[in-house]
Structure 1
Amino acid sequence: MEIDRTKIGLVYGSDTGATEEITHAIVQKCEFWEIDVQAVSKIDTSYFEQYDFIILGLSTWYDGDLQSDWEDFFEDFKTVDFTNKIIAIFGLGDQFGYDDYFIDGVGMLAEFVLKNGGRIIGHWPSEDYDFSASKASVDQDTFYGLALDEDNESHASEERINRWTKQLHT
């Protein structure tokens, strides 16, 4: 089956606006794609049927909690069939304040994407981060997706987004 990588769905959740800002920054860097951006609070599971390529964005709160809208949608998300779909995930977290849970939300979503037949692209190196543990770790050197720390390293976000979106495009 041929995957359509020109028309993309992007679903995000944001409580404070930081993830929404990052979402818009990612969309600007992906001007070569047609991207349908939706807040997770505004969709149902049928949204995922429309796209072969989907980007998911969220923040991790406190001790490894999903962002509130993702938390509300999570039971439904667990039922989505991701067979023949390409998924990329980006997450925001605080690597110093919550170093045992850094971007755990990415790993929580990745678990069900993989369990339900999806393929994850956009893995990201973890070497430039200072954290103790993360559910988002593929292995000790790699996250399932882009890791951003707007609390402590907002100065690095633009360059990381540039590198990640180029990686997604190739």
Structure 2
Amino acid sequence: MKKIGLFYGTSTTKTANIAKKIQESFGDSKVEIIPIEDAWQNEFQSYDYLIVGTSTWFDGELPTYWDELIPKLTTLELQNKKVAIFGLGDQVNYPDNFVDGIGTLAEAFEAAGAKLVGFTSPEGYTFNQSLALKENKLLGLALDIENQPGKTKERIQHWVEQLKKEFGI
């Protein structure tokens, strides 16, 4: 069986809760959760597929744990490894950098040679701009649990089904 590693930060409770919901949606314990604060660089290379998650803080910043890891990611050999990204943001209070964390992580993983998967539509969101938006696609699963909590479960389920196809599992 192909191994899927889900990396997220434990210091943000909301992101941790979403990571667990994603893991549950895959079922059968196909996804191993690894807190980013405890992750070693070689752990990224030891999984067949990666799911990474972050929140976006303030004016588009990554939480400290990812911010510190980004320079190290570019040194990893992740050639053609499939990586899916999910991110939390607030499109009402931060419409000019909604889920920018997704875009920042996407850039770092692409620089390490990874192949991004799990793109989603920006339909159903209202924001001005985002680093996560490229060619009218979001570079991962965007969740706004502050303003659209009722859409979270359905968005996760659809995204996990999409990832199963893109991962070939």
Q: Shorter chain as normaliser: what TM range? A: over 0.9
Instruction: Answer yes or no: is 1:10 the counterpart of 2:6.
Output: yes
* Distance (Å, rounded) in 2 between the aligned partners of 1:166 and 1:74: 28
Aligned to 1:69: 65
Contact 2:70 2:108 in 1 (8 A): no
Q: Partner of 2:87: helix, strand, or coil?
A: strand
- The alpha carbon displacement at 1:14 in A equals 4.2
Alignment of 1:30-69 (within 5 A): 30-32=26-28, 34-69=30-65
* Distance (Å, rounded) in 1 between the aligned partners of 2:26 and 2:41: 24
Q: Partner of 2:93: helix, strand, or coil?
A: coil
Aligned-partner residue type, residue 127 of structure 1 = E
Q: Partner of 1:157: helix, strand, or coil?
A: helix
CA shift digits 1:14-46 (9 cap, x unpaired)? 433000000000000001452221111101211
* Distance (Å, rounded) in 1 between the aligned partners of 2:28 and 2:161: 11
* Distance (Å, rounded) in 2 between the aligned partners of 1:73 and 1:160: 28
Q: Sequence identity, in percent?
A: 37
- Name the TM-score, length of structure 2 as normaliser: 0.92
For structure 1, the 5+ residue unaligned runs are none
* Distance (Å, rounded) in 2 between the aligned partners of 1:109 and 1:130: 22
State the Cα RMSD in Å: 1.3
Contact 1:7 1:33 in 2 (8 A): no
Instruction: Answer yes or no: is 1:124 the counterpart of 2:127.
Output: no
Aligned to 2:108: 112
Report the count of equivalent residues: 165
Structure 2 residue aligned with 1:103, among 99, 102, 119? Answer: 99
Aligned-partner residue type, residue 57 of structure 2 = W
Aligned to 1:154: 149
Contact 1:103 1:147 in 2 (8 A): yes
Q: Partner of 1:166: helix, strand, or coil?
A: helix
- The alpha carbon displacement at 1:79 in A equals 2.2
- Name the TM-score, length of structure 1 as normaliser: 0.92
Normalized per residue, which structure has more strand? 1
Contact 1:88 1:120 in 2 (8 A): yes
- The alpha carbon displacement at 1:84 in A equals 2.6
Q: Partner of 1:147: helix, strand, or coil?
A: strand
Contact 2:73 2:112 in 1 (8 A): no
For structure 2, the 5+ residue unaligned runs are none
Contact 1:26 1:161 in 2 (8 A): yes
Contact 1:100 1:132 in 2 (8 A): yes
* Distance (Å, rounded) in 1 between the aligned partners of 2:39 and 2:12: 19
- The alpha carbon displacement at 1:68 in A equals 2.2
Q: Partner of 1:113: helix, strand, or coil?
A: helix
